């Protein structure tokens, strides 16, 4: 009669020992992967916001250079219309337009940085800058202060064109 010896298979021992290592590896790698995925999503959100804002200032530049006498009401100004249109564009795109800071200023010369009046005919062919900015916290998908104090901004520098009709026309 043969007595069977119970052999411990090396395969079973190796598998049992390996499962503990796999749990340890997952505990180390999983948080890093999660941070990378969430960071990618957050940066994608910032890029989307930047693209929307750049499109908004490009549309504002078109309005600034068109014959706005047909578009702007008599009791309104082109500057106010442009600001409203920018906010509406950004809001319609899914961002908080109310969080925007909009400025229309001279882009160069002695008046650089001062408010630019689009309806002033003496500003024809002057360089102007339309700039918008929004706090990063207004577009962030995740709570926290990891980018506190940072703004997303977009701007356009252009020459006030010949097409900008006067309000008196």
- The Cβ of residue 42 has, within 10 Å, a number of other Cβ atoms equal to 17
Summarize pLDDT for 79-97 with one digit per residue, the tens.
999 999 999 999 999 999 9
What does the block give as tokens for 30?
A: 């999983």
Q: In the chain, pLDDT over 70 holds for what percent of residues?
A: 81
pLDDT of 150 above 90: no
What does the block give as tokens for 116?
A: 């630019």
Whether the CB-CB separation of 68 and 162 falls below 8 Å is answered with no
Whether the CB-CB separation of 165 and 69 falls below 8 Å is answered with yes
Stretch 36-51: mean pLDDT: 91
């Amino acid at each position: 009669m043969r007595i069977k010896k119970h052999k411990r298979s090396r395969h079973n021992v190796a598998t049992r020992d390996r499962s503990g290592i796999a749990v340890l590896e997952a505990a180390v790698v999983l948080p890093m992967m999660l941070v990378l995925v969430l960071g990618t999503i957050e940066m994608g959100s910032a890029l989307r916001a930047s693209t929307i804002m750049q499109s908004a200032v490009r549309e504002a530049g078109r309005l600034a250079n068109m014959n706005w006498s047909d578009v702007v009401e008599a009791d309104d100004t082109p500057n106010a219309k442009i600001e409203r249109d920018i906010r509406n564009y950004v809001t319609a795109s899914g961002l908080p337009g109310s969080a925007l800071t909009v400025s229309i200023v001279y882009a160069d010369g002695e008046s650089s940085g001062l408010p630019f009046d689009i309806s002033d005919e003496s500003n024809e062919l002057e360089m102007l800058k339309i700039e918008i900015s929004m706090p990063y916290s207004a577009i962030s998908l995740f709570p926290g202060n990891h980018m506190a104090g940072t703004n997303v901004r977009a701007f356009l520098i252009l020459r006030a064109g010949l097409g900008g009709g006067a309000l008196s026309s």
